[in-house]
Structure formats: C-alpha cells, structure tokens
C-alpha cells in the first residue's frame, strides 16, 4: 500500500474493518516494550492497559483506538431565575453537549453506546427527566441513581444503524436546597463520557461549580458608640450578632467591605494599622462626604477560609459637644462577595445625647481641708478644721482620713471643698453643707457636720461646687442655683442668699456644670459654651481688661469657638485662675498667672495675668481628660492616665522657679495609671486605678492626711483605714455598706451622675415586689409570654420558653426577663392597655459590663407635645446595688435587680449616670422628666 493510499484511510475505522496491524515498526515497538516491561516485572495484565494516541492494548495485542472529540462539552447549570441558585430552595436545568460545536459526525457501529454520567453535588437532585427519545440514527435513554447521598444522572445514546452519527445535546431539570454554605469543591458538578472500546475521548471529563447565592448571617451588627468623653470615643461594629461566627468557605480574592457613615459632627481619629494574618488582610480608609465621613474597612481574603469567626472592628472618633449632648445618627453597611446575601447588610443607630461630664471626681481639696468618697458613698475628711469644714463634728484639725457619718447617716455621691466650707450632693439628690458660710451670709453661724441646705421642694440636684465665699448647685432642667456671698455679683446681683436660690440662666441655655471660684460663678452650657459672672479682677472672668465685674451670666468667648467639656476654677485662695478643657483635650486658661499656673501662651509669653481665655502650650502629643486648679498650681490627667502639673507651688517634683508648661510628675507611676486629681491651697492629690491615694505639698493642719504636718515635695501614699464607726454603719445600715478601704477613688469621670431635670413623674407601682427577675424561689420558670408577643421574634433565634420569668407588673405595664438561644439576657416589656411591646437583649459578657436597658414610647403625653408616655427598664448586674440605683432615678422602682420607670419624658434629652458595680462602674442612659 502506497503512502498516499495510507493517508487516504478514513480517520475512524469501524469494527467491520478491524484487523491486526501488521506494520512492522509498530510490531517491533510493541515487542520491545513487552520485553522491557517483563524485565521490570510488570505483568501482561498491566500491558493490556497501555494505550497510545491511536491505539489501545487489549490483552497482548494492540487494537486501533481513534481519538474522537466526544465527551462533556458546554457543561452548565442554569437557574430558572437570575444568575444564581437560591438563596433558599430553587430550581434550574443542567445543559451539556456530547460534541464540540462544529464537530463532524462520528462513524458509529450499530448498537454502540455513548454514555454521559453527571454527578450532582449534595443538595442538588434531578427533577423530572426528559422522556426517552429517538433521533437520526440513535435512541437515547435517561436514568438516575443515588450514591452516598449524591445523585448520578445518565444519558445513554445508542447507535441504531452503522454510519455517521451526530450525538445530541441534553438538558434535564434539577432542584436545589443546600444544607449550608458549601465549598466550591463540594458545590461542583462532575461529568464523564463512556465510549466504545475502540474510541478514545479527547475530552473525557468536565466539571463546573454551581453558581449559588447563599443566605448568610454575616453583615453589620452592634453598631454603637463607646467612651465616656466626647474626645475619647470609639465606633464599634461587628460582623455577626453573636460570638459563634459562621461557615462561609471564603475564597482567595474575596473581599468584605464594611463602611460606617458618621455625620460631620463626628470626626474619625487615627485609623487602625493594616494587618495581615491567617489568610486575611485588613485595610482602613476614610473619606469626607457631603454629609460627614465614610470610614471603610476592607477585608481581603488571601487564602481559603472555611469557618469565619465573628469580627468586631472599632475606630476612634471625637464628637463635637453639640452632637454629644443632642445625639446623632450613624449607619453601617457591608458588601459581601456576590454569592452571599446578608440577613443584615445595613444598620442604623441613633446615638442618644449625653450630658457632658462635669469632670468632678471623688477627691476634692479646698482651703486647707481635703475630702474623699469611697466607692460605697461614704464621705471622709481631713486637714484644717477651724471652721468645721472637715465635717467630722469637731473644729480640731484632722491628720488622717476620718469618716463623717454615723450609723444610718446620709451617704454622698459628690463632695466639693471650698475656701473654708464644704458642700456635697447626697444619694437622694439633696444638697448638704458644713463649715463656715456653707449656707448663711458671711459672718453667720457655722456647723461642723453635714446639714441639708436645699429645701424639699427644690427638685433633684445633680452637681455641687464650693467657691471661696459662695456655693453653687445644678438643679432641674440645667438651672444654676447659688447661695452665700454676692458682693461681686457672683450670684447675679448684690444680694446674698442664705439658702440655695435659683439664679437667672441665660435665655435658652441649659448648664451641664456649674463651677464656683473666688468671687466668680461659671456655667458650662450643653452646647459647650462658657458663661460667667462676678469679679473680673486680674482677668478671673476672662472678659478683658476693661470689665471690672458682671452681675449676670455673660458668654465668655473661647479661642476659635472651642467647645468646652470641663471647667475648673481655684476656689481655695483669692489668687484665682480658671482652666477650660476642650473637646480634643487642649487647655484654655484665664486669670492669675504669676506662678505660671495658667500656662504659656501659644506665642511663648507668660503674662502675670491672662485677661482673656488663652490656649496654652502642651507637651507634644499630650492631651488631657481632666483638669484641676489650686492655689498657684494646675493639674492635668492625660489620656494614658499620667498626671501633669504646672505653676509655682505644689508641683509634685522639685523645680527652681515657676513651671509654665505642663510637666509629668515622674514619681506617679502606678500600674494602670490614675483616675482622679484634685488641687487646693498648697496641697494636691492623685488617685490611682488600683484604689490608692497619693498626696503632696503642704502638710499644714494635716491636709495631706498622712498623719504628718510636714511638707512633701513628691507624692506620698495616704493611709487608708476605716474607723470602727464606719464598720458599725455597715452592720446597722444595710443600704450603706462600708468600703473596704478608707479612701477610694475608683469611679469614672464624675462618680455617679444623676440626670438633670429628674423630677418625680408620678409613676404608679404595685405594693409588693416580685423579687429576683431571673427565677422564682425554687429556680423554676414562673411565667409565659402573652399571645400577642411572639417568643421566636425576640433576641437571636427566639427566647427559651423555660427561661421566661415575670419580673414586674401593675395596671400600666408588665415586664419579663428571659434568655434567647444564644444565652443572651433579654428584657421583654408590655405597656398596657394598648399592648405595645418591645424587647432588649445583651450577651452575658455585655450584661455584666453594662446591664440591659431600653425605653419604649406608648403615646404622646397629654401635658406636652414634646413629651411621651414612656416605659424605661434597666436590668442591672448583680454587683450593682439596685435600691441605691433607684434613688438616683426619681420615679423609678426596683424589683430585685430590675428598675422600672414610667411617665412623661422628653425623648430628646437623655443623660448618662454611673452606678458603682464592684470595683467598676456601669453606665445607664436616663431620659429627662418633664
């Protein structure tokens, strides 16, 4: 046979043309191969498996095997709607061809079978199969078989005649319902062709990943603002509602993009650094928008991740004072890879307004006396006591901290030491005073132990401040009250007041702090503005050199209209200066500066008096969270808990001459930093986070409390021991438990803060208490929810029926507690008679840190268009003394650890109060009463 004749042979040789190949080169090659394989110990069975590009070995002989373009082509799974299956149950079709497009027919022999097998993933089942069919020279049959929970679909084409055959394409229905998110491998559809022995496929297998859209929990949850000051806050958002995370089978190259949008009143701080670990890289960015800022976290997957943990991201922000006090709205949204549909891709949070903390702490230093409160509200005093200003019932100087009370005596939540008198705020929000001029005119009588000076119809007070010769208190609705000397207009006129008297606030201004100095009165507005009246001698009002005094509140302009969050003024001596803390933690000063106690101006000058508010120089990178002003000295508490001082006296370190730029006190190095500071007449204090108190400066009269009258250049530890009387108080007065140490200063910025304007709302309460809201006496469930409340709609996955407990009820409301499926602690409230309901839940760790609180409106109150009938509930951690907490929230009632409050409240005015909880504090948000 010539070469041309060989080239003319058909490409496919049918069985009727099969014959032994006698081409000598092929036989020789086969023999050599067989010998070599035999020498290597390979059996003839293995030889029978050898194939070439154009032949297959059958037994010990080669049979012609032609390579043909027959196999699975164009394999695809197509959903009935859209481009993906799901989320949830869905249907679609699988499509395939058995030859590539444009391929020539194959030469088939009668009876030969061409079988295509398709293995479906878990969660995919075949629908109704096509009917068996016959076509141009073939017939086709369909069948299915289940193998290990997976289905195989077979399409078998049989040649009915010998000759050219075009293999048909195929389509069959499928239904999908996946048990959960699958990996790409698990969601892959596999196909394989089975051909007659004489044929070999050039494309025997194919596979395709089903395009599936998955319903997932991953999204944005728990969007909120944390932090106790406007300049040291953080925005937090989580990827899941609980700590369990989720199986997502993320692919390399996937990205999850979460964007938090905040208004222009909120400014992002330094964003976290980029990270890369465990197959995940994170990057942060921020961009200014027309409405504010967008802060974006991009999480890029660099290696496959099957189980994705819950991630909580946070970034620092500063909030301007107006937004801090009035509240603002922020939102977050996440963009997941296209195959995922989030159950919560967007969320929005209304951050309630907060009254700026007045910055007054648990330690106070005056003209020679020193005062402190324990975390159990017991008041201690020591130091100069000629006028009874220590308050221990004598007029003898006191060398060590001494308890002021007696069994059953009043407890205090704030104390302020002035020139030679002291004022305090009791736990029932009344004002007390002792020493000289504490309530009477100058030269009047004095008392040597606490006496109530506010009348019973004055309402609830929220803060007090003792000046040199007068005192101030912050009353309902942010109104200033004053009493004492008025010779320089510090009480709004020339008439002095014997008892606390309401002063005339500026029109439309509510104060969040009042501060009494030496013949000066200051008020901090809820919008961060500063107002003052009284003497302007030496620039102490900050109104410039041409004003001698003012007899009404006058706004004091701040540099660059800075918003102020705390005011402090020296009231221990007549050499007065005042400091103002700005939103970002900078310091503005005015008044006396002869010792550098005001500070160094930005131009480097150190005038003897600062006649107008002046921004002072701070060390690079240092910002403060609290200030204190004493005689010739100023103190600052930095963000990292360090204590700084400047001035000419009582610096806490040796210095030659005045120090006019804040300098860190080097010996104050307590682990965990410091939480409170105070400065008086030649003495000062700092309390550490571990409960210790340190004092320095003059010891005259025992003002340092260290059982000595010697001057201390550097801080010394103040001994802390309880008196036997305080021990007795613990035994005889169950609501006034004694502290374990004599002087403790561990509560946050201002100890407890009561809401302004918290007059009794006239709420009605049942006569008897339900008791512990968690369980009944034997620990078994005691209640079930009414039909109008669906337990499955509460919390994460619904509440567990056997955990529902009736906590409080009367004719106006019913309250239950329960746990949801994630063990979160929930409060469910029902307002009667209309049956409006709501619920609030918190994870156990969150509950222990802050409890569960919420409010629900039930309709507009008749008394005011701006007030609502509102039910407020607070479920407190066990460490909080609920009875004392109820005292701080007028109109509230405690049922075990549950506080309930019902009445008319102004929704736009909400305030944070701090409750002692063991060695920590718990913040609660309280609406103002109308």
CA 40 to chain centre: 72
pLDDT at 810: 83
Task: Give the pLDDT of residue 39.
Answer: 45
User: What does residue 615 show for φ and ψ, rounded to 5 degrees?
Assistant: -75, 125
> 359 or 96, which is more confident?
96
- Segment 44-62 shows an average pLDDT of 47
Lowest mean pLDDT, pick from 33-42, 91-100, 602-611, 631-640: 33-42
Residue from 75, 56, 176 nearest 125 by CA: 176
Highest mean pLDDT among 61-75, 516-530, 756-770: 516-530
Count Cβ atoms within 10 A of the Cβ of residue 156 and give its class: 0-12 exposed, 13-18 middle, 19 or more buried.
middle
Q: What is the pLDDT at residue 695? A: 95
**Residue 490's domain is classified under what CATH number?**
2.130.10.30
> What is the tens place of the pLDDT at every residue in 830-865?
888 777 888 888 877 777 767 787 777 665 544 444
- Determine which helix (DSSP H) or strand (DSSP E) holds 113, and give its type and residue range: strand 113-119
Instruction: State the average pLDDT over residues 457-482.
Output: 91
Q: Check whether 12 has a pLDDT greater than 70.
A: no
C-alpha closest to that of 95 among 75, 112, 115, 79: 75
Q: Which pLDDT band holds residue 13 (cuts at 50, 70, 90)?
A: very low
Q: What is the mean pLDDT of residues 492-512?
A: 89
Contact 145, 154 (CB under 8 A): yes
Q: Give residue 2's pLDDT.
A: 41
Could you say which of 680, 702, 717 is where a domain stops? 717
Do 231 and 115 belong together in one domain?
no
Q: What is the pLDDT of residue 126?
A: 96
Q: Chain-centre distance of CA 787, in angstroms?
A: 34
Per DSSP, the residues of 212-273 read B-EEE--S-EEEEEE-SSTTSEEEEEESSSSSS-EEEEEPTT-EEEEEEEEETTEEE-SPPP
477 plus 612 within the same structural domain: yes
- Residue 328 CA to residue 267 CA, distance in Å, equals 13
For 64-103, the pLDDT digits (tens) are 678 999 999 999 999 999 999 988 899 999 999 999 999 9
Residue 98: both structure tokens together: 């058995």
Q: Which residue did the predictor score with more confidence, 327 or 930?
A: 327
CATH number, domain at 347? 2.60.40
Asked which of 698, 717, 736 is the last residue of a domain, the reply is 717
> Cα(478)–Cα(367) distance, rounded to whole angstroms?
28
Position 428 confidence tier, pLDDT thresholds 50, 70, 90? confident
Judgement on whether residues 106 and 70 belong to the same structural domain of the protein: yes
Q: What pLDDT sits at residue 411? A: 83
Are residue 333 and residue 372 in the same domain, yes or no?
no
Which has the minimum average pLDDT: 181-190, 763-772, 874-883? 763-772
Q: So what's the pLDDT on residue 42?
A: 41
**Same structural domain for residues 419 and 546?**
yes
Domains held by the chain: number? 3
Average pLDDT over residues 180-197: 94
Mean pLDDT of 155-159: 96
Q: Is 575 helix (H, G, I), strand (E, B) or coil?
A: coil
Q: What pLDDT was estimated at residue 906? A: 53
Tell me the mean pLDDT in the region 760-781.
Answer: 35
For residues 34 and 26, give the distance between their C-alpha atoms in angstroms, rounded to a whole number: 12
Predicted confidence (pLDDT) at residue 690 exceeds the cutoff of 90: no
Q: What is the pLDDT of residues 787-840, one digit of tens each?
A: 888 888 888 788 888 888 888 888 888 999 998 888 889 899 888 877 788 888
Around 45, how many Cα atoms within 13 Å sit in the side-chain half-sphere?
0
Read off the pLDDT of each residue in 618-626 and give the average, rounded to a whole number: 93
Q: What are phi and psi of 400, to 5 degrees?
A: -135, 160
Q: What is the pLDDT of residue 130?
A: 95
* CB of 250 closer than 8 Å to CB of 273: no
User: What is the predicted pLDDT for the residue at 731?
Assistant: 39
The answer to whether position 790 is within a domain reads no
Question: Rounded to whole angstroms, how far apart are CA atoms 372 and 381?
Answer: 6
Task: Calculate the CA 704 to chain-centre distance.
Answer: 40
What is residue 752's predicted lDDT score, i.e. its pLDDT? Answer: 24
Q: Which of 717, 733, 759 is the last residue of a domain?
A: 717
Residue 467 lies in a domain: yes
Pair (247, 194) in one structural domain: no
**What is the pLDDT at residue 753?**
28
The pairing of strands 340-342 and 214-216 is parallel
Cα 279 from Cα 302, distance rounded (Å): 5
DSSP string, 151-181: EEEEEEEEESSSEEEPPPPEEEEEEE--SS-
Higher local confidence (pLDDT), 16 or 282? 282
What would the mean pLDDT of 297-316 be, rounded to a whole number? Answer: 94
Please give the Cα distance from 532 to 515 (Å, whole number): 9
Where residue 439 falls among pLDDT bands split at 50, 70, 90? Answer: low
Instruction: Read off the pLDDT band of 879 (50, 70, 90).
Output: confident
Give residue 560's pLDDT band: very low, low, confident or very high (50, 70, 90): very high
One domain, residues 202 and 295? no
For range 269-286, the mean pLDDT: 92
Element (H, E) at 829: strand 825-831
Residue 860 resides in a domain:
no
**pLDDT (0 to 100) of residue 62:** 54
Percentage of the chain with pLDDT > 90? 52
Tell me, what's the pLDDT at 858? Answer: 63
Query: Would 297 be classed as within a structural domain?
Result: yes
Asked if residue 510 has pLDDT above 90, the reply is yes
Q: How confident is the model at residue 875 (pLDDT cuts 50, 70, 90)?
A: confident
Q: Is residue 475 part of a domain?
A: yes
Among 154-168, 436-450, 689-703, the minimum mean pLDDT is found in 436-450
At residue 45, does pLDDT exceed 70?
no
Q: What range does the domain containing 633 cover? A: 363-717
Pair 297, 409 in one domain: no
| 651/502 same-domain check | yes
Residue 267 included in any domain: yes
pLDDT given at position 660: 95
Per the CB < 8 A criterion, the answer to whether 599 and 647 are in contact is no
Tens digits of per-residue pLDDT, 107-146? 999 999 999 999 999 999 999 999 999 988 999 999 999 9
Alpha-carbon distance of 115 to 145, in angstroms, equals 14
- CA separation for the pair 771, 598 (Å, rounded): 55
Nearest to 362 by CA among 811, 644, 675, 619: 675
Q: What is the structure's pLDDT at 903? A: 77
In the chain, % of residues over pLDDT 70? 80
Query: Greater confidence, 884 or 240?
Result: 240
- Give yes or no: residues 345 and 382 share one domain: no
What is the chain's percent helix, strand, coil content, to nearest 5?
10, 45, 45
For the segment 196-213, the average pLDDT, to the nearest whole number, is 94
User: Is residue 574 one of the residues assigned to a domain?
Assistant: yes
pLDDT beyond 80 at 456 = no
Q: Once rounded to an integer, what is the mean pLDDT over residues 397-401? A: 93
55-69, 109-123, 310-324 — which is least confidently predicted?
55-69
**Lowest mean pLDDT across 278-282, 305-309, 448-452, 857-861:** 857-861
CA angle, 477 then 481 then 483, to 5°? 170
Q: Does 563 reside within a domain?
A: yes
Q: Which strands sit side by side in the sheet containing 55-58, from one edge to the other?
A: 51-52, 55-58, 61-64
610 with 477, same domain: the answer is: yes
User: Bigger pLDDT: 277 or 889?
Assistant: 277
Considering the domain architecture, whether residues 443 and 327 belong to the same structural domain is answered as no
Average pLDDT over residues 542-546: 95
Q: What angle do CA 696, 513, 375 make, to 5 degrees?
A: 55
pTM above 0.85, yes or no: no
pLDDT in tens, 699-733: 999 999 999 999 999 999 998 764 434 444 443 33
Dmax of the chain from CA atoms? Answer: 141
- pLDDT, tens digit (0-9, with 9 covering 90-100), for 595-606: 999 999 999 999
Q: What is the pLDDT of residue 63?
A: 59
The separation between CA 3 and the C-alpha centre of its own chain, rounded to angstroms, equals 85
Find out whether 464 and 472 touch, Cβ atoms under 8 Å.
Answer: yes
Mean pLDDT confidence for 729-743: 32
Overall average pLDDT of the 518-542 stretch: 95
């Amino acid at each position: 046979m010539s070469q041309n004749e060989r080239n003319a042979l058909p490409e496919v040789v049918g069985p009727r043309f099969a014959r032994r190949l006698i081409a000598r080169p092929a036989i020789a090659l086969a023999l050599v191969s067989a010998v070599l394989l035999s020498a290597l110990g390979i059996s003839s069975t293995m030889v029978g498996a050898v194939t070439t590009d154009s032949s297959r070995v059958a037994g010990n002989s080669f049979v012609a095997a032609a390579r043909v373009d027959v196999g699975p082509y164009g394999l695809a799974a197509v959903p009935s709607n859209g481009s993906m299956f799901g989320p949830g149950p869905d249907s679609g079709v699988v499509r395939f061809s058995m030859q590539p497009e444009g391929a020539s027919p194959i030469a088939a022999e009668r009876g030969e079978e061409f079988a295509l097998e398709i293995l479906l993933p878990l969660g995919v089942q075949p629908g109704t199969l096509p009917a068996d069919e016959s076509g141009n020279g073939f017939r086709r049959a369909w069948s299915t078989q289940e193998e290990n929970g997976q289905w195989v679909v077979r399409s078998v084409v049989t040649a009915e005649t010998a000759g050219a055959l075009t293999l048909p394409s195929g389509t069959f229905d499928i239904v999908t319902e996946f048990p959960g998110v699958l990996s790409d491998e698990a969601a892959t559809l596999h196909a394989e062709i089975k051909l007659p022995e004489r044929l070999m496929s050039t494309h025997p297998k194919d596979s395709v990943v089903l395009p599936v859209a998955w319903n997932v929990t991953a999204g944005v949850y728990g969007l909120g603002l944390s932090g106790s000051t406007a300049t040291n806050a953080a925005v937090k958002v989580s990827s899941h509602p609980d700590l369990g995370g989720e199986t997502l089978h993320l692919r390399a190259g996937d990205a999850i993009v979460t964007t938090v949008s905040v208004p222009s009143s909120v400014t992002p701080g330094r964003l976290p650094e980029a990270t890369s670990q465990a197959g995940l890289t994170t990057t942060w960015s921020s961009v200014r928008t027309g409405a504010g800022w967008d802060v974006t976290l991009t999480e890029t997957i660099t290696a496959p991740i099957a189980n994705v943990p819950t991630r909580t991201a946070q970034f620092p922000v500063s909030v301007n004072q107006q937004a801090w006090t009035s509240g603002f709205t922020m939102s977050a949204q996440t963009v997941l890879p296209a195959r995922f549909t989030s159950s919560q891709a967007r969320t929005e949070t209304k951050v309630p307004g907060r009254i700026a903390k007045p910055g007054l702490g648990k330690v106070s230093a005056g003209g020679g006396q020193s005062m402190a409160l324990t975390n159990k509200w017991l008041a201690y005093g020591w130091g100069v006591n000629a006028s009874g200003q220590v308050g221990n019932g004598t007029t003898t100087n006191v060398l060590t901290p001494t308890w002021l009370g007696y069994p059953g005596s009043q407890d205090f939540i704030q104390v302020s030491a002035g020139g030679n008198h002291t004022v305090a705020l009791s736990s029932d929000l009344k004002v007390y005073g002792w020493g000289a001029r504490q309530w009477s005119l100058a030269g009047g009588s004095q008392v040597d132990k606490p006496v109530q000076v506010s009348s019973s119809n004055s309402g609830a007070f929220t803060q007090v401040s003792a000046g040199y010769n007068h005192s101030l208190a912050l009353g309902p609705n942010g109104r200033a009250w004053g009493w004492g000397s008025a010779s320089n207009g510090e009480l709004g006129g020339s008439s002095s007041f014997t008892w606390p008297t309401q002063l005339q606030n500026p029109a439309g201004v509510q104060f969040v702090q009042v501060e009494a100095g030496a013949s000066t009165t200051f008020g901090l507005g809820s919008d961060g503005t500063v107002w003052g009246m009284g003497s302007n001698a030496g620039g102490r009002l900050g109104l410039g050199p041409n004003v001698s005094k003012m007899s009404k509140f006058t706004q004091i302009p701040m540099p660059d209209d800075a918003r102020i969050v705390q005011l402090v003024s020296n009231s221990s001596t007549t050499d007065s200066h005042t400091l103002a803390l700005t939103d970002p933690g900078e310091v503005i000063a005015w008044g006396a500066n002869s010792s550098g106690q005001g500070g160094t101006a930005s131009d480097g000058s150190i005038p003897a008096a600062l006649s107008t508010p002046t921004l002072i120089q701070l060390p690079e990178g240092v910002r403060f969270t609290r200030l204190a002003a004493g005689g010739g000295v100023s103190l600052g508490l930095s963000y990292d808990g360090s204590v700084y001082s400047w001035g000419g006296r009582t610096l806490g370190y040796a210095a030659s001459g005045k120090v006019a730029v804040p300098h860190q006190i080097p010996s104050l190095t307590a682990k965990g930093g410091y939480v409170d500071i105070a400065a008086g007449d030649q003495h000062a204090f700092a309390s550490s986070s571990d409960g210790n108190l340190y004092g320095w400066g003059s010891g005259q009269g025992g003002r340092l409390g260290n059982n000595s009258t010697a001057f201390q250049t550097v801080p010394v530890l103040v001994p802390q021991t309880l008196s036997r009387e305080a021990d007795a108080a613990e035994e005889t007065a169950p609501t006034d438990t004694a502290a374990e140490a004599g002087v403790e200063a561990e509560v946050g910025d201002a100890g407890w803060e009561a809401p302004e304007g918290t007059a009794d709302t006239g709420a009605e309460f049942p006569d008897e208490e339900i008791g512990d809201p968690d369980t009944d006496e034997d620990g078994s469930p005691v209640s079930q929810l009414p039909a109008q409340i669906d337990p499955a709609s509460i919390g994460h996955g619904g509440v567990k029926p056997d955990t529902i407990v009736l906590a409080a009820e009367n004719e106006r409301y019913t309250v239950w507690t329960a746990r949801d499926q994630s063990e979160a602690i929930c409060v469910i409230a029902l307002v009667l008679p209309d049956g409006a309901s709501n619920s609030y839940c918190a994870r156990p760790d969150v509950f222990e840190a802050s409890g569960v609180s919420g409010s629900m409106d039930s309709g507009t109150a008749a008394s005011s268009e701006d007030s609502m009938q509102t039910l407020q509930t607070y479920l407190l951690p066990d460490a909080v003394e609920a009875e004392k907490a109820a005292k701080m929230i007028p109109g509230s009632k405690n049922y075990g650890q549950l506080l309930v409050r019902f009445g008319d409240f102004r929704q736009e005015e909400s305030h944070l109060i701090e409750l002692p909880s063991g060695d920590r504090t718990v913040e609660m948000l309280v609406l103002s009463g109308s």
